[in-house]
Every structure is written in C-alpha cells, then in structure tokens.
Amino acid sequence: MARNPELEAILEARYNWEGAAPSQKSKLRDIYYELLDQLLARHARQGRKLARNDVIEVMGDEYKDFRLARDRALAAKVRRLR
C-alpha cells in the first residue's frame, strides 16, 4: 500500500520504538515524537491546531496495518532462513 513518505517515516519510527531493546527505547521514542512534532508544527502553521495524542489516535488503523505487514515480512524472512 503506497503511503505518504512522512506518514511512512512516522509509522516506521513507532514500530522501531515499540520493538526496541529497553536500552534504546528512550532514544527511539524521542525520534518518533520529533517526527510527530514536525507534522504538528506544519499543520499549526497552516492554521490547524492538533494535539499529539489526536494524531496518534487517528493513525491507529494505519499503524496496525503497517505493523501487521512488517511482522508478516519478518516472519517470512525467518522461515526462509530456516
């Protein structure tokens, strides 16, 4: 499924953060939040004030699809390596 590159980057950052080792979670969370904040700042300049949690909620279904596709791809890769 083709998506907006900015959305892809945000979804990828969340996926990386959620799947990270505990020692990396803080750094990856900051990257995820920075991408969200950039999106929010752009929308604020256009007169559309949004909250971070609202954006996360709106992207929920997109993220579920993204995570499912990534998990399936990873499982297929593991099966090929066996």
Triad 41, 43, 49: Cα angle to 5°: 90
Residue 2 pLDDT level (bands cut at 50, 70, 90): low
Interatomic CA distance for residues 76 and 81, integer angstroms: 9
Q: What is the pTM of this model?
A: 0.86
Q: Does 66 have pLDDT greater than 80?
A: yes
**Count of domains observed in the chain:** 1
Interatomic CA distance for residues 77 and 28, integer angstroms: 24
Residue 28's domain comprises: 5-81
